[in-house]
């Protein structure tokens, strides 16, 4: 027993070190312009105008009031434990510890997995949430593992606004495929699983409502969603066309500025956004304008078309793009002991030592190769084991849902798809040892839920 658990602990420790290897190599966690905003919200205990406070709290309580490396260690522990459980329940390889560790090694060498674990942003929690959901829905979990995954899934959901619609779309897909249109004897089993998953979603919504109400005395999931959607309509060219056509008939808030719109609607200080109420009071006027655009058949058609093309663009945009974020002043103010470590990090110096060009090339090969193999397996493979087929289908649909939500309601950013793209090679690595290519065209084998 002692030897068994010591092997598990040692394997998890190696998994954590591999997971944060990018941050360790950089000599500091990977940062982003928004990292300072998350740090400020948590340390100052203030609700941000444009994001949830929960990841800020995570940074506040994991950096040990001194060193932000502890924050990425915490992310590495969470990611490694969830991945370990993923292989524990779904791997058919005889040594699941080795299967887990080799897969993490491949993900670190050939994808952006380690980059996102080492990233002071909530992006890695998107994959943690999806893997946790897959375990809750498809695995017959031990009670201890279930009670670990339930709060992890809830927390991973509430750290980013995009996770709520992503969770909802996944629930609709799972409910339709495995409950409503499922005529097999497994329908009651999946109905219980769906109710449990839906309970996780409702819990996440309630927690977000309660916390936001405590700060503002208002119930909401996102208090400024109208700002990001207006900005997206501007990027699509829809807002400008609408204003040019309708301002002679209706007095919209942005009509006086329709000829002086800035390229960056939100973050440019000269933007009309800050002249029409900004974050504080633009809601009613912008919501009225958005309503009229969406209820206009001409512009709704353009929005759907632009959303479709943006989704395709986002699906193929997952490269790692290192930046030199200007958060040094915030580090100097709040973490003076870390000033030297952050200033001499490879990311901050920009000396080419933290280049991801080669990694992006390897990631493209692995992701597109894994995707092609998974599609071929879905079409032609006849001998699926366990829940492997269901996992492949869920993760591929999750890729599409994530791309649609982010590109339609925010913008196309490589980090939005990069945060989940490694799930494609992950599930291929999971099922690789169990593939029997000699029986590629044999009739499928019926599997019971216990198998």
- Residues 111, 20 share a domain: yes
Match 């009071």 to its residue by tokens: 281
Q: Tell me if 333 is assigned to some domain.
A: yes
- Residues 87, 18 share a domain: yes
Total structural domains within the chain:
3
Mean pLDDT, rounded, for 255-274 = 91
Least confident span in 50-54, 172-176, 334-338 = 334-338
For residue 49, pLDDT over 50 is answered with: yes
Mean pLDDT, rounded, for 39-52 = 92
For residue 85, pLDDT over 70 is answered with: yes
- The confidence score (pLDDT) of residue 331 equals 74
| Residues 6 or more apart whose Cβ sits within 8 Å of residue 254 | 239, 243, 261, 272, 276, 289
For residue 451, pLDDT over 70 is answered with: no
Q: Which domain-ending residue is among 339, 355, 371?
A: 355
- The confidence score (pLDDT) of residue 447 equals 47
Q: What is the span of the domain harbouring residue 113?
A: 1-120+322-355
For residue 122, pLDDT over 50 is answered with: yes
Q: Tell me if 83 is assigned to some domain.
A: yes
- Residue 21 to residues 15, 388, 438: CA-CA distances in angstroms? 10, 29, 38
Work out the pLDDT band at 446, boundaries 50, 70, 90. Answer: low
- The confidence score (pLDDT) of residue 392 equals 96
- pLDDT tens across 181-228, in order? 887 888 999 999 999 999 999 999 999 999 999 999 999 999 889 999
Q: Are 107 and 22 in contact (CB under 8 A)?
A: no
- Residues 28, 97 share a domain: yes
Work out the pLDDT band at 349, boundaries 50, 70, 90. Answer: confident
Top-confidence residue, 100 or 35: 100
Q: How many CB atoms lie within 10 A of CB 325?
A: 17
For residue 330, pLDDT over 80 is answered with: no
Q: Tell me if 252 is assigned to some domain.
A: yes
- Residues 110, 16 share a domain: yes
Work out the pLDDT band at 354, boundaries 50, 70, 90. Answer: confident
Model pTM?
0.93
Q: Tell me if 315 is assigned to some domain.
A: no
Mean pLDDT, rounded, for 240-252 = 93
- Residues 336, 433 share a domain: no
- The confidence score (pLDDT) of residue 352 equals 72
- pLDDT tens across 398-434, in order? 999 999 999 999 999 999 999 999 999 999 999 998 8
- pLDDT tens across 132-163, in order? 999 999 999 999 999 999 999 999 999 999 99
- Partners of residue 119 on adjacent β-strands: 30
Report the alpha-carbon distance of residue 164 to residue 348 in Å, rounded. 33
Which percentage of the chain shows pLDDT scores above 90?
75
Mean pLDDT, rounded, for 174-178 = 93
CA atoms within 13 A on the CB side of 320: 32
Q: What is the dihedral of CA 302, 305, 311, 316, to 10 degrees?
A: -120
Tokens linked to 213? 């109400």
- The confidence score (pLDDT) of residue 437 equals 67
- Residues 3, 112 share a domain: yes
- Residues 56, 7 share a domain: yes
- Residues 270, 247 share a domain: yes
Supply the mean pLDDT for the chain: 91
- Residues 364, 351 share a domain: no
Q: Tell me if 244 is assigned to some domain.
A: yes
- Residues 73, 1 share a domain: yes
Tokens linked to 265? 């609607």
Q: Tell me if 39 is assigned to some domain.
A: yes
Alpha carbon 250 to chain centroid distance? 39
- Where b means 16+ CB within 10 Å and e means fewer, 166-191 reads bbebbbebbbeebbeebeeeeeeebe
Q: Are 121 and 32 in contact (CB under 8 A)?
A: yes
Q: Tell me if 159 is assigned to some domain.
A: no
- Residues 14, 110 share a domain: yes
- The confidence score (pLDDT) of residue 89 equals 96
Q: Tell me if 163 is assigned to some domain.
A: no
For residue 68, pLDDT over 60 is answered with: yes
Q: Are 285 and 276 in contact (CB under 8 A)?
A: yes
- The confidence score (pLDDT) of residue 339 equals 73
- Residues 82, 45 share a domain: yes
Report the alpha-carbon distance of residue 166 to residue 42 in Å, rounded. 25
């Amino acid at each position: 027993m002692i030897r068994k658990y010591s092997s598990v602990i040692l394997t998890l420790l190696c998994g954590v070190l591999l997971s944060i290897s990018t941050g360790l190599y950089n000599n500091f966690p990977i940062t982003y312009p928004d990292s300072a905003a998350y740090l400020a919200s948590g340390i100052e205990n203030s609700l941000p105008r444009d994001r949830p406070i929960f990841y800020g709290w995570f940074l506040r309580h994991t950096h040990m009031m001194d060193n932000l490396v502890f924050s990425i260690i915490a992310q590495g522990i969470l990611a490694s434990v969830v991945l370990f459980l993923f292989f524990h329940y779904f791997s058919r390889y005889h040594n699941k510890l080795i299967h887990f560790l080799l897969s993490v090694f491949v993900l670190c060498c050939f994808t952006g997995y380690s980059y996102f674990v080492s990233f002071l942003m909530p992006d890695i929690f998107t994959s943690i949430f999806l893997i946790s959901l897959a375990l809750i829905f498809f695995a017959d979990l031990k009670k201890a593992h279930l009670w670990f995954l339930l709060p992890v899934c809830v927390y991973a959901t509430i750290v980013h606004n995009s996770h709520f619609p992503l969770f909802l779309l996944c629930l609709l897909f799972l409910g339709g495929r495995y409950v409503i249109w499922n005529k097999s004897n497994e329908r009651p089993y999946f109905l219980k699983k769906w109710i449990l998953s839906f309970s996780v979603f409702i819990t996440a919504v309630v927690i977000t409502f309660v916390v936001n109400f405590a700060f503002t005395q208002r119930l909401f999931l996102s208090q400024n969603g109208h700002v990001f959607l207006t900005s997206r309509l501007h990027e699509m060219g829809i807002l400008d066309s609408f204003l040019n056509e309708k301002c002679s008939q209706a007095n919209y808030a942005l009509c006086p500025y329709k000829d002086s719109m800035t390229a960056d609607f939100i973050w440019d200080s000269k933007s009309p956004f800050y002249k029409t109420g900004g974050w504080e009071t633009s809601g009613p006027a912008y919501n009225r304008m958005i309503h009229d655009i969406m209820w206009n058949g001409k512009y709704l058609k353009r929005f759907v078309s632009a959303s479709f093309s943006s989704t395709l663009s986002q699906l193929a945009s997952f490269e790692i793009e290192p930046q030199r974020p200007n958060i040094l002043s915030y580090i100097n103010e709040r973490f003076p002991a870390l000033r030297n470590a952050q200033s001499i990090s490879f990311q901050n110096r920009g000396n080419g030592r933290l280049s991801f060009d080669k990694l992006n090339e390897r990631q493209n090969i692995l992701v597109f190769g894994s995707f092609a193999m998974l599609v071929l397996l879905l079409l032609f493979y006849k001998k699926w084991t366990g829940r492997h087929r269901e996992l492949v289908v869920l993760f591929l649909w999750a890729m599409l849902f994530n791309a649609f939500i982010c590109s339609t309601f925010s913008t196309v950013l490589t980090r939005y798809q990069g945060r989940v793209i490694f799930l494609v090679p992950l599930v291929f690595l999971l099922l690789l040892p169990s593939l029997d290519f000699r029986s590629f065209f044999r009739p499928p084998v019926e599997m019971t839920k216990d198998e």
